[in-house]
Amino acid sequence: PGVGCRNQEEKLLQDLMTNYNRHLRPVPHGDQIIDVTLKLTLTNLISLNEREETLTTNVWIEMQWSDYRLQWDPKKYDNIQLLRVPSTMVWLPDIVLENNIDGTFEITLYTNVLVSPDGSIYWLPPAIYRSACAIHVTYFPFDWQNCTMVFQSQTYSANEINLLLTVEEGQTVEWISIDPEAFTENGEWVIKHRPARKIINSEHFTPDDIQYQQVVFYLIIQRKPLFYIINIIVPCVLISAMAVLVYFLPAKAGGQKCTVSINVLLAQTVFLFLIAQKVPETSQAVPLIGKYLTFLMVVTVVIVVNAVIVLNISLRTPNTHSMSQRVRQVCLHLLPHYLGMHMPEETPGPPRAARRRSSLGLMVKADEYMLWKARTELLFEKQKERDGLMKTVLEKIGRGLESGSAQDFCQSLEEAGPEIRACVDACNHIANATREQNDFSSESEEWILVGRVIDRVCFIIMASLFVCGTVGIFLMAHFNQAPALPFPGDPKQYLP
């Protein structure tokens, strides 16, 4: 029976193909229109290449139409109810993917068509399509994209074939079908909506043109941002936070501050370069993560400039700069109180005289002189012999005490007077020099304190700017969600 059945199929195929021309439309009259139904089944959303703006999908295209030349009476052919015919032997509606990106308009494999006795043809070829998809990078990597797959007949107009969406169980299939058992989920994108529509005479064509029709399948997909959060955003935020932490270094450590900040700036540049390799080369919009990296780079540059300014202030001395009372009042008394900074208490003393710019030079010369000459020579300029000086003074006073006479004691004091006066003058000179040196160090320390106050103010500003900018930018991403409905103003869900 098997051989007979095959013979009947062969005979049926030969009978059907006799005088059959696959290049002609299967209509008895030229003014008739052939209905061709379409259904798209998605098995794998392979990838979306943002840089090339290309969507790669693995699909099955289900097409049905009727060919009156392929009808037969099953009773004459051993009750054959279904005939498998190579698709290259019958007329095909030449439906192609109009927005392909690689020039491959056709399907991947020309499978057999299934022919029924009434002439109905069912064709289910597989295809891997690379279609164009305009990428909107404004909210990358928290974005969603609307990609389309546009199918149309390559040579036939709407006056010759009528493209329709498949009807199943009395309902039009206005969506991309997904077989849960065969579908492979994409690791980067999640499908939010998958509607389908037929478009006739779109805005690109005038009514005078040939009847224009398309069947458009939409894929509205939302990106899963976890990969970019873990590998780019979190490291970038942590590295950028280090630039803010440089304010905890001493005010005079400006070199170390600049080194840390510039290293952070270089790391941010690397991240920006990685993002530039991912998104398309477009000037229409700047990616959200690109905006964030640029914001962080600006903050880091401001921190470097601030470190240079604070270092300049901290290294000032009374010889080069004079601190005004307003600066001293604001930076050493007013701001530390509001910033919670503990400032050293001032010891009461005589008011400081205005220091001349040459005082530092005089003190340096005095220091050199003190190092060059022995201390006793410095104190007693007229005394050439240092050894025994105190002994000489004590001997003179002792002789006056031994005599027991007040006159002798006064005379001994008078004899030791020049040496004692020289000692007192030298001690006064040392005290004045030490007091002047302490005043010099105190004023230099005040400039360092001013640098600390500026550091604290800038730290509060930069930390607040860093936190607010980070939260604000990513709140923008949080509200950028795929729409609840596929088409604005259309309440239909386009789902089974």
Give the bridge partners for 55, in sequence order.
48, 131
At 117 the pLDDT is 95
pLDDT higher than threshold 50 for residue 285:
yes
CA-based Rg of the chain, rounded to a whole angstrom?
47
CATH class of the region 2-224: mainly beta
Q: Per-residue pLDDT averaged across 261-282, rounded?
A: 88
Work out the pLDDT band at 154, boundaries 50, 70, 90: confident
At 274 the pLDDT is 87
At 406 the pLDDT is 58
Contacts of 207 (CB under 8 A, 6+ apart): 201
Angle subtended at Cα 462 by Cα 460 and Cα 465, rounded to the nearest 5 degrees = 105
| Sequence-ordered alpha helix ranges (H) in 279-405 | 288-314, 325-329, 335-339, 359-372, 375-379, 389-403
At 360 the pLDDT is 47
Work out the pLDDT band at 107, boundaries 50, 70, 90: confident
Tell me the C-alpha to C-alpha distance, in Å, between residue 257 and each of 235, 242, 295. 20, 10, 19
Nearest to 36 by CA among 190, 151, 201: 151
pLDDT higher than threshold 80 for residue 26:
yes
At 372 the pLDDT is 45
Read off the pLDDT of residues 420-474 as tens digits, 9 standing for 90 and up. 666 666 666 666 666 655 554 566 677 788 888 888 888 999 999 999 999 998 8
Question: Distance between terminal CA atoms of the chain?
Answer: 43
CA dihedral angle for residue 104, residue 110, residue 113, residue 119, rounded to 10 degrees:
50
pLDDT higher than threshold 60 for residue 371:
no
Pair 106, 125: CB distance under 8 Å: no
Chain-centre distance for alpha carbon 415? 88
Read off the pLDDT of residues 206-221 as tens digits, 9 standing for 90 and up. 655 556 789 999 999 9
Mean pLDDT is highest, among 95-104, 124-133, 193-202, for 124-133
pTM comes to 0.73
Q: Per-residue pLDDT averaged across 289-301, rounded?
A: 92
At 358 the pLDDT is 42
Phi-psi label, residue 494: left if phi above 0, alpha if psi -120 to 50, beta otherwise: left
Distance from C-alpha of 36 to C-alpha of 150, rounded to nearest angstrom = 15
Contacts of 108 (CB under 8 A, 6+ apart): 125, 126, 127, 128
Read off the pLDDT of residues 460-488 as tens digits, 9 standing for 90 and up. 999 999 999 999 988 988 888 999 999 98
Phi-psi label, residue 213: left if phi above 0, alpha if psi -120 to 50, beta otherwise: beta
Read off the pLDDT of residues 112-132 as tens digits, 9 standing for 90 and up. 999 999 999 999 999 999 999
| Count of CB atoms situated within 10 Å of the CB of 175 | 20
Hey, what are 67's tokens? 């060919």
| Sequence-ordered alpha helix ranges (H) in 191-287 | 226-228, 234-245, 254-278
Work out the pLDDT band at 411, boundaries 50, 70, 90: low
- Give the residue with greater pLDDT, 386 vs 467: 467
Reduced to 3 states (helix: H, G, I; strand: E, B; else coil), residue 92 is: coil
